[in-house]
Amino acid sequence: MIANPARTWAAIAHEPSTTSSVLQGYVFPLAMIAPILQLAGALIFEHKPVIYACAEAVVLFLLEITSLFVVAFIADAFTPAFGGVKDSEASFKWVAYASTARWLAGIFAVIPFFGWLIVLVASLYSLYSLALGTVPMLGIPPARATGFTTVVVVGYIVVLLAVEVCLRFFMSLIFPGVEIASPYR
């Protein structure tokens, strides 16, 4: 997915995987990278309390998985309006596999401050990959793919901002008075 996303999308489109198998075998391991390394960074560099740093990592992971389902739902809901085939599993795989670069960039979450820049660049690459997968994964006609992808990307950005707000909200409920760090520092 990183080196040649266009070729990879063609292979994924014909892959007989399910939402459950992609979630367990692909999403969980990759989506855990950033929370685990952010946990390490919070403990090593920021000297946060262990309980707080662990709770922050768990909440971030749960919100990441939730956001994946929300964006896939958005994509699936808009697919027919753009001439594609409504298929919740294909929509989930489309969003999940496109997130690969962003999740792998989570390796840099351990680096205070500069790690978020690397995650930002990888997130932009993930959006590019998402655009490349629109036609093969969802059957959107090429002439309408840009419009569809734009709608989903706007939804994706709103969901990621909501994840940030939710993380801060939940952490402030659990640990009142403790400074809340961004997951993308």
158-170: average pLDDT: 84
Q: Report the alpha-carbon distance of residue 84 to residue 80 in Å, rounded.
A: 5
Q: Which residues contact 95 (CB under 8 A, 6 or more apart)?
A: 68, 71, 72, 75, 130, 156
pLDDT digits (tens, 9 = 90+) for 63-106: 889 999 999 999 999 999 999 999 999 999 999 999 999 999 98
Q: Report the alpha-carbon distance of residue 137 to residue 79 in Å, rounded.
A: 11
Model confidence at 11, pLDDT cuts 50, 70, 90, reads very high
Residue 57 has pLDDT above 80, yes or no: yes
- Domain locations in the chain? 5-174
pLDDT in the model for residue 185: 46
Q: How far out from the chain centre does Cα 10 lie?
A: 21
Q: Report the alpha-carbon distance of residue 47 to residue 43 in Å, rounded.
A: 5
Residue 182 has pLDDT above 70, yes or no: no
Q: Report the alpha-carbon distance of residue 74 to residue 141 in Å, rounded.
A: 18
Neighbours of 160 (CB within 10 A): 18
pLDDT digits (tens, 9 = 90+) for 122-163: 999 999 999 999 999 999 999 999 999 999 999 988 988 888
Q: Report the alpha-carbon distance of residue 176 to residue 170 in Å, rounded.
A: 10
3-30: average pLDDT: 94
CA distances from 74 to 9, 26, 151 (A): 20, 21, 9
Burial label for 178, CB within 10 Å (0-12, 13-18, 19+), is: middle
The pLDDT mean for the chain works out to: 89
Q: Are 14 and 141 in contact (CB under 8 A)?
A: no
Q: Report the alpha-carbon distance of residue 139 to residue 148 in Å, rounded.
A: 11
111, two tokens = 């680096």
pLDDT in the model for residue 171: 79
